[in-house]
Amino acid sequence: LMFRAITLFFITACFSLSAQAVLIDPADCGTTLTCWTTTDNSNLNTSAEIEAAFGVSFDPDLTLYYKANQDGSAGDGSYLSTYSTTFSNTPSEPADADITYGTGDSISCPDCYLLVKDGNQTIAQYLINLGNWNGTDTLELENFWPSSGSISNVAIWGNVSPIPVPAAIWLFGTALIGFIGVSRR
């Protein structure tokens, strides 16, 4: 009986480890999502351009990790081969999109931001803080410009804060002391 209970527990645990999805709906901006919007419809290709368009500041500067275009033209970013984006609703008017992790290294950073662009609407672009995204969960974008626009591209920007030198030295020193203590025994 105990063996069956343990087996059932492990089977349940394995199935619960499947990938999750993070729902991103612009209606949640200001409640469950931290978002910035802009009427600037230009393609923002640098951290400085993002900062100027949205009126925010990032230190260190943001780096483009992934960009996908709805029209099928070549994307960009160092994680381009790791993720894929499916634009949906209708082919010519996609109000929704899914950004899915495939294989390889996933995006892992303390500060990641999703940029969603239409460019022909009053709100031309959304910049959304991905905060607790783990880099492998699917990003489900829903209700962006429904019936009046379409997502032209999505991009994930981020910055990887380096480990502070004092913390790195502390970790190295602790490990070194541990190795010395073990070797003396």
SS (H, E, C) the chain: CHHHHHHHHHHHHHHHCCCCEEEECHHHECCCECEEEECCCCCCCCHHHHHHHHCCCCCCCCEEEEEEECCCCCCECCCCCCEEEEEECCCCCCCEEEEEECCCCCCCCCEEEEEEECCCCCCCEEEEECCCCCCCCEEEECCCCCCCCCCCEEEEEEECCCCCHHHHHHHHHHHHHHHHHHHHC
- What confidence category does residue 179 fall into, taking pLDDT thresholds of 50, 70 and 90? low
Residue 172: pLDDT above 80?
Answer: no
Its pTM stands at: 0.76
High-pLDDT (> 90) share of the chain, %:
58
pLDDT of residue 110: 78
Residue 90: pLDDT above 60?
Answer: yes
For residues 107 and 89, give the distance between their C-alpha atoms in angstroms, rounded to a whole number. Answer: 27
Residue pLDDT, tens place only, 108-134: 877 899 999 997 888 999 999 998 899
Q: Are 98 and 89 in contact (CB under 8 A)?
A: no
Residue pLDDT, tens place only, 41-52: 999 999 999 999
For residues 156 and 147, give the distance between their C-alpha atoms in angstroms, rounded to a whole number. Answer: 25
Q: The tokens of 99 are what?
A: 């950004």
